[in-house]
Structure 1
Amino acid sequence: MAGSRCPSRVRFSAFFAFFSALFAAGSSTTQVPLLMWSSDGLPPLASPAAGHITSKDQLTAYLTSAFGSGPHTVLLFLQDKLSKDDFTVFGGVFGNKQDSAFQNLEAALQSSSSSVTLPALEWSGSSAVPALLQEKLGVSPLLVDADTLSHLSVNTSVSNLLLVTLPYCNDLHKSCKEVLRDNDEIIGKVLDVMKAKNVPYTAIYTGLQPSRVISETSVSNQAVGRSLLQEVTADVKAPIMFNSTGGPCIMLWAQNLNVSLSRTSAFIDLAAQTPTLTGSICNDSHSQLVLNYASGFVLSFAMTRRLYPVSGRYWFTLDSVQLQSSGLTASFIGSRNIYAPAEYSFHCQSVKSFQDALLVPNNTNQNTTQWRLNFIDFQIQGFGLANGTNFSYANDCAGFFTAGIWMGLLTSLLMLFIFVYGLHMIMQLNTMDRFDDPKGPSISVPQSE
């Protein structure tokens, strides 16, 4: 952590020095970095020893001193995932500064009157920092971006908490460095708007969760010697479960819950955040799972259980998916392919609202044509949770005859047709009984008149 009264170049060098020093230090506690700078000034904070992990209580005490009196305008840049490794790998620490993915962020730290850097903040939950700021400022966060902020009138007589959500690389479109560079450009645009409005502010840049969680085992517990094979335990997140009075009734799990508010903006992975389930309901015929996120998004799934006389059994369907943000709502209708027997769960590797969409946009809502959903490795069950904590047998959206199988069958049939036709032609060949010998008498063929 850099002191608040040191010169800009010393403070900036100290910022990267701490990240470089801690880059090689390992810990079993999950951590996120936190960068804080202000246009007015921050209380001084002593530099800790290398490897020190700032606890939540220490952060709470510092925020109390920073926002103890008077109104404050706070810009919270909340990235889906962030780790100190992102700064050391993509921040130009070991390479060319011009190739850094955080040029606007570095410039903001250099030009600010004071700044505080927490390379290792103890991470206990995805909504810890937003909840702390909301408690200290006494206001709810307002989700904004550079465009909406430019048209927004900021009242400096009261406290304001402006939330800017930033995505993280999810191996869908761009590399991590490109995503972080785009996020840095967003930070620069938002800061330029605040400077143009001449509004004093305090900015905070942190992550909802670590981008790299490395769990290390104590050396004393490791066996002496070398082994060629290592057992790696995967950190698999638990499914989202809603409990009613009768026990668990809705379960959902997804590797990624990617949402985008425009056709050109990057996806935001909601699966990296921990939601609350306020508003969720379930009964024998209808279930609705409502996911409320601290970043301002609300994602809801509506399911229905019906008896189909043709099959003589109950089936459940995912009727609709709704996404809410900043008071706007987009609705997507579940296609006929999102169904399963009532006692089963539904699974699909990709559930999208575009390009072979399983979620059909509701054209009556103008936001739906611009907003996009992309759920990766998606599984949901709204009825028949007999075993409590586990999904039932999954009805997968992928058919038995996939595109690859059809291509193989058609190619095999074509080759078989060529083989049979060739064999038929060979069997039709006839050999002559006599051959014309040029050295002997010629063969005469009598002609009848």
Structure 2
Amino acid sequence: MTEEVGCRSVSVLKMAFISLLFILISLSSCRAQVPLIVWTSEGNSLPALSEPSAGEIVSGGKLVSYLKSALTTSPHNVVLFLQDKLSIDDFTVYGGVFGNKQDSVFVNLESALETSAHLVLPALAWSAAKSVEELFQEELGIPALHIEPAGLAQLQLSSSQPSLLVISLPHTTGTQSKEPLRKNDETIGDVLTLLKSRGVPYTAVYTGLRPSHVTEDTPISNTRGFSGRSLLQTLSAVKPPVIFNSTTSGPCILFWADRLSVAHENEPPVDLAPLTFNNTINLAGSFCNETVSRLVLNYRNVLGFQSFQVIFTMHKIFFPVSARNWMVMEHVELNYDGQTALFNGSRGINTPAEYSFHCQRVSNTESPLLVPSSATDNATQWTLLFTDFQIQSFNVTGNFAYASDCASFFTPGIWMGLLTTLLMVFILTYGLHMIMQLRTMDRFDDPKGPAISVPQNE
């Protein structure tokens, strides 16, 4: 019996150890990402762009802001070096921008960055990187020209006419990747030397289509109406954000969302995102100053209404408790053919004034961040759902600032991990307790001999 109890305790300990090890391995997984480097030819500059904070993964909306801001002052002859696979490990292992420059394979790239203005994004969500070519085509208004490096000498390039040249670079992962990376760097050097010899100013971009050292996650098919968590970017071209420019201070409101769904009573919902993020949205009525910002999105013929407006009103308020200014969304307003539906957003849509606000789902039904102003208001007839919602209305510098997310720290995943860990610790403690309670008898009965007698005093 003693041996059986001991074996059972050992089995419990093994199960607890294996489960705990599995949890640690699962928590150590990371999201796939690629680096992106932008630089210009000598004598040209990039606008003052705030670099992402340490550990931040740049997503689709912020990438659009970076690229649009870069083209405001830099040359519109863009050379896009697209490598099949690229990761930050390629630089740290073989030297270069992020690693030891001794015996580096990125000699030409380093030389170009040392003599020109540049911007480095160490962590770009790889699905957003796949849309870089489409973003440049949309911003420059010209198609991309895929060309081999050898055929570049036959092109007639001009400093006055914009051009978008895409040069594909191969890559081999594993122990044989050093030499292909060296050849790719030589290709970059040859292209830059040719452009310099012709006196053509350029903006160069170097990134990868997918990571080379991170296992990509297999997407879950959208069956049975499953709607899981999604990123700011999609596999298709990323929509540019809405930017409202003040007549005196430049950009003052940035707005982006993956979906803007509105539904009136029992009618099917309508997604306003395709009408909003296409550079033709009418922002008449919008304004901004030091304390109040108002973004007005004007539509025509939505849900049977001739005139339809979505209005976001934000205030900058100083809170003595935190000793800082906060951006608070006072309300979201719908104006449709003379009628008004008003939603209060001040309870959940707020962030420090120097940050942007981001939320995966902003709705008036599911954990509502938008609350009807009164029970008799027209807002009760409407259903709103904004996904991957991001807005910034103060201290705008041309691109989204660090995002303050609406998600609480203790998400369902964190709670599941904590409870599972506590369960494993309980099993481990119980097993150790059982082992420590094992005792052996100091006397044994001999079935063949006389029985042990214990005299009793009467």
Q: Which TM-score applies when normalising by structure 1?
A: 0.47
Higher relative CO (Cα under 8 Å, sequence separation at least 6) belongs to 2
